[in-house]
Structure 1
Amino acid sequence: MAKSGTGKSGTGKSGINLRRARILVTNDDGINAPGLKVLVKLAKTLSDDVWVVAPESEQSATSHSLTLRRPLRERRLGSKRFSVDGTPTDCVLVAHHRILADRLPDLVLSGINDGGNLAEDVTYSGTIAATMEAALLGIPAIAFSQQRGEDGIARWKVPEAFLPDIVRKLVKMRWTKDLLVNVNFPAVAPEDVTGIEVCRQGRRDEGTTVNETFDPSGRRFLWIGGYQLDTSEERDSDLAVTAKGGISITPLHLDLTHRASMKSLRELFG
């Protein structure tokens, strides 16, 4: 049987000895993404046992999807470094059941995503999905995303300055069942960060769009979304915190039950 300092047996316990912890790093931007390289570098300042299992190619917006109708291939790219030709969820499962089966991870870190994962993004994000799968497996997990600047480029100075200490603090708390944490870094210089705030998941004023356009041959096609504007009237959400230059920390939970509706539904069907 695989052994772990945390794993399913550790759900609900508080405190992880980071220096002795086994850390799994993954993402949705792919094994060669700059943000993954930064996260691995920072993770190695926290632990001597850092493993990378990430998608072979970009898997943005794949959400919590599994590959069920074709086989997967894992590839060893180096010491403690693997790629999987599947989704972020596949990567966590392959790491848990195969690559790290001798000793399960104590902590999963996902990212650093190229672009924010705010508000309703969490329902689409492969970065978040990797931490969802870890939470289902009983492993504490944190997702990290870096917002892009006005030029459309994500820069990594803010996570380099703040991420390690955020992890050190988060692992001190009690990780209850099905909990994961979503962290977003603003597109500002490190000295301009206004603070670190624990806040709720927001909701944008405008949803995803579907745009009609034409290819060079004049044939019509549709393009979903593009990048949504992080606008909202809310003042206590991840959108608001990052908009003013703060780092947002949002605890998420896998139980999607809308408990406020249960009484009225029971009356209808009782």
Structure 2
Amino acid sequence: MSKPLILVSNDDGITSHGIRVLVEVMAEIGEVVVVAPDSPQSGMGHAITIGEPLRLYKTRLFKDLDVISYKCSGTPADCVKLAKHHVLKDRTPDLVVSGVNHGSNLAVSVLYSGTMSAAIEGAIEGFPAIGFSLSDFAQDADFSHTRDYIKHISQQVLEHGLGKGIALNVNFPPKQNEKIKGIKICRQANAHWEEEFDHRKDPYGRPYFWLAGNFVNNDKGEDSDVWAVDHNYVAVVPCQYDLTAHHAIARINEEWDF
């Protein structure tokens, strides 16, 4: 049987340590094609490039793995779109994977995440898709404890598939002395960022702002992604791009004067 075709992207850029780990694992499973940003695109959400041209260049970064790769000047979502319409052309990926992100994408962060936007773009295009993130922002983060789980989760998706329009948001705890306890299928936690802008001045006295803030978890449940990662589990949250608040439709129809 032919190997599954796997498209790999990310938001930290094609030279990041995390994508190297992901490509190495995917190369054990199937035929891999990489289309990833040429520079970091963290926090880009589901942005696409419409006001300027996109550049796409073939690279030799993964030649040692016999993997074809391209760097793209656009966003993670751009990368998946270009992969579908130009790089892969008439071929259909069996799986789209994104990451491994340097830093978690828990709770509301999924909306801002470039990592998850690549996965969700895959789901929009009708492909099974997974976004992988590690709760460690260091550029030299240790990903060794994620490899077996990345492979296992990916193989499960290839075997069982995902519902239409669904992508998995997978978050790993940082490397610890204690082994990971297992995998938990979770919901997105009720947590958010309390933001503030640090007001500074550049050497010429001109003002500028730097976004900062603290992550606040208001969720006391033991079935959330934040709880799972905090307790050394791999958190898996099925996500969808349909943002309709279905429960609000009836109330608005009944109570509002439309």
Q: How does 1:80-91 map to 2 (within 5 A)?
A: 80-91=68-79
Tell me, in whole angstroms, the C-alpha distance in 2 between the residues paired with 1:68 and 1:234: 42
Q: Residue 209 of structure 2: SS of its match in structure 1?
A: strand
The percent identity for this pair of structures is 36
Residue by residue over 1:119-169, the C-alpha shift from the partner in whole angstroms, topping out at 9 and shown as x without a partner, is 1110100000001111111001000001117x7863201212321112112
Q: Which moved more, 1:115-124 or 1:79-88?
A: 79-88
TM-score, structure 2 as length reference: 0.89
Corresponding residue of 2:249? 262
Q: Residue 130 of structure 1 aligns to which amino acid in structure 2?
A: A
Aligned to 1:101: 89
Q: Is 1:204–2:191 an aligned residue pair? A: yes
Query: Could you tell me how far 1:210 is from its partner in structure 2?
Result: 2.2
Aligned to 1:62: 44
- Paired residues in the alignment total 250
2:100–2:131 CA contact under 8 A, matched in 1: yes
Q: Secondary structure at the match of 1:128?
A: helix
* Matched position secondary structure for 1:171: helix
Residues 194 and 216 of structure 2 are in contact (CA less than 8 Å); yes or no, is this contact kept in structure 1? no
Provide the C-alpha distance between the structure 2 equivalents of 1:86 and 1:153, rounded to a whole number of angstroms: 25
Q: Is the aligned partner of 1:162 residue 2:139? A: no
Which residue of structure 2 lines up, in the alignment, with residue 38 of structure 1? 21
Q: Shift of residue 264 of structure 1?
A: 1.7
Is 1:127 aligned with 2:110? no
More strand by share: 2
The normalised TM-score by structure 1 is 0.86
Residue pair 2:55, 2:73 contacting (<8 A) in 1 also: yes
- Looking at structure 2, the residues matched to 252 and 43 of structure 1 have their Cα atoms a distance apart, in angstroms, of 22
Write out per-residue CA displacement over residues 164-215 of structure 1, whole angstroms, 9 at most, x where no aligned residue.
Answer: 1121123333421210100001013374212210000113265333222344
Range with greater deviation from structure 2 (83-92 or 19-28): 19-28
Structure 1 stretches of at least 4 aligned residues deviating more than 4 Å after TM superposition: 216-219
The DSSP-based 3-state class of the residue aligned with 1:170 is helix
SS at match of 2:32: strand
- Aligned to 1:265, the other structure's residue is in SS state helix
2:8 equivalent to 1:20: no
In the other structure, the counterpart of 1:71 is 53
Q: Which amino acid aligns with 2:89?
A: A
Q: Could you tell me how far apart the structure 2 residues matched to 1:230 and 1:110 are?
A: 26
DSSP 3-state at the match of 1:113: strand
Deviation of the 1:255 alpha carbon: 1.0
- Shift of the 91–153 alpha-carbon distance from structure 1 to 2, 3 Å rule, reads same
Q: 203, 218, 230: which is aligned to 1:243?
A: 230
Amino acid at match of 2:57: R
Q: Structure 1 regions of 5+ residues with no counterpart?
A: 1-16
- How much does 1:89 deviate? 0.5
Shift of residue 93, structure 1, vs aligned partner: 0.5
Larger deviation, residues 35-44 vs 152-161: 152-161
Q: What stretches of structure 2 of length at least 5 have no aligned partner? A: 61-66
**Conservation of the 8 A alpha-carbon contact between 1:158 and 1:190:** no
- The alpha-carbon deviation at position 101 of structure 1 amounts to 0.7
Show the counterpart of 1:9: none
Write the distance in 1 (CA, Å) between the matches of 2:82 and 2:11: 15
Q: CA deviation at 1:104?
A: 1.8
| Aligned match of 1:8 | none
Instruction: Say which SS state the counterpart of residue 108 (structure 2) adopts.
Output: helix
